[in-house]
């Protein structure tokens, strides 16, 4: 897990060294196997580390090829990243969603797939409707993982871009808004219909209404 923390910090602070660490710093040069093991562990802290790592790697062009197998064939393919989308912790879900969107849009085949784009839009809007203070499942385990994430955010505040769940939702929308299809959907009142395992993923608000609410509250 420490290896994942270190690599994530390097990717955010000094991307070239982070890419080297992702390529050379894992067993047999295979980061995918170890990241997948963190995800499958069902340990909230391990999954939190995996989520932050893939999110940081997806933000770095030269790191994307090393984690792209985690996306599989996109939403609905049963990929490792989808396991993170099922987490009880908002930050874990949002990190995975951020990575999935960036990797999906960087993949020409997936980015031109109408169903994939709509799936990513659904995820982005659901993140907007998340309540970062709500948790599900094992409350003690979730609390420890959230405390772990907050501790790391404070430690790396000068170099990281770790965001809240809602901010990540806005970030994803900014990526997706380059698609004409997405612009049309938002204009016609697109709203979420639960995909993520979230307490309040479904909202009566449209995406634009939620964005306006968030902007007025900030």
For the whole prediction, is pTM greater than 0.75? no
CA distance 38 to 165: 21
Q: For 176-217, write each residue's pLDDT tens digit.
A: 888 888 999 999 999 877 655 444 444 678 888 888 888 887
Query: Radius of gyration over alpha carbons of the chain, in Å?
Result: 16
CA 126 to chain centre: 12
CA distance 6 to 26: 12
Is residue 153 scored above 60 in pLDDT?
no
Is residue 53 scored above 90 in pLDDT?
yes
**Which residues lie closer than 8 Å to 92 by C-beta, 6 or more apart?**
44, 47, 48, 51, 84, 145
Q: Which residue has the higher pLDDT, 65 or 140?
A: 65
Is residue 148 scored above 60 in pLDDT?
no
> Pick from 133, 131, 129: which is nearest to 206 by CA?
129
Highest mean pLDDT among 14-28, 42-56, 75-89, 114-128: 42-56
**Coil vs helix vs strand at 197:** coil
Say if CB 96 and CB 88 are below 8 A apart.
no
pLDDT at residue number 136: 42
CA distance 22 to 9: 11
Beta strands in the chain (DSSP E): none
**Coil vs helix vs strand at 189:** coil
pLDDT at residue number 141: 46
Q: For 170-182, write each residue's pLDDT tens digit.
A: 888 888 888 888 9
Output the furthest CA–CA distance in the chain (Å, rounded): 50
Q: For residue 69, how many C-alpha atoms fall within 13 Å in the half-sphere facing its CB?
A: 8
- pLDDT above 90 covers a percentage of the chain that reads 11
pLDDT at residue number 184: 92
Token duo for residue 59? 């933000």
Q: For residue 11, how many C-alpha atoms fall within 13 Å in the half-sphere facing its CB?
A: 28
Is residue 116 scored above 70 in pLDDT?
yes
Q: Which residue has the higher pLDDT, 46 or 161?
A: 46
**Coil vs helix vs strand at 5:** helix
CA distance 71 to 129: 24
């Amino acid at each position: 897990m420490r290896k994942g923390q270190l690599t994530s910090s390097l990717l955010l602070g000094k991307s070239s060294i982070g890419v080297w660490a992702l390529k050379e710093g894992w067993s047999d040069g295979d980061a995918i196997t170890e990241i997948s093991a963190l995800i499958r562990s069902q340990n909230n802290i391990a999954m939190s580390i995996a989520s932050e790592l893939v999110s940081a790697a997806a933000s770095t062009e030269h790191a994307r090829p090393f984690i792209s197998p985690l996306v599989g064939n996109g939403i609905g393919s049963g990929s490792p990243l989808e396991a993170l989308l099922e987490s009880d912790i908002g930050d874990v879900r949002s990190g995975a969603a951020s990575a999935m969107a960036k990797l999906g849009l960087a993949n020409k085949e997936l980015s031109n797939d109408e169903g994939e784009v709509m799936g990513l839009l659904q995820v982005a809007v659901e993140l907007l409707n998340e309540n970062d203070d709500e948790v599900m499942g094992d409350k003690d385990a979730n609390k420890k993982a959230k405390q772990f994430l907050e501790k790391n955010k404070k430690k790396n505040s000068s170099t990281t871009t770790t965001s809240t769940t809602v901010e990540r939702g806005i970030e994803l929308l900014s990526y997706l808004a380059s698609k004409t299809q997405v612009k049309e959907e938002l204009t016609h009142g697109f709203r979420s219909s639960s995909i993520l395992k979230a307490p309040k993923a479904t909202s009566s608000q449209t995406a634009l209404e939620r964005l306006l609410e968030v902007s007025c509250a900030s």
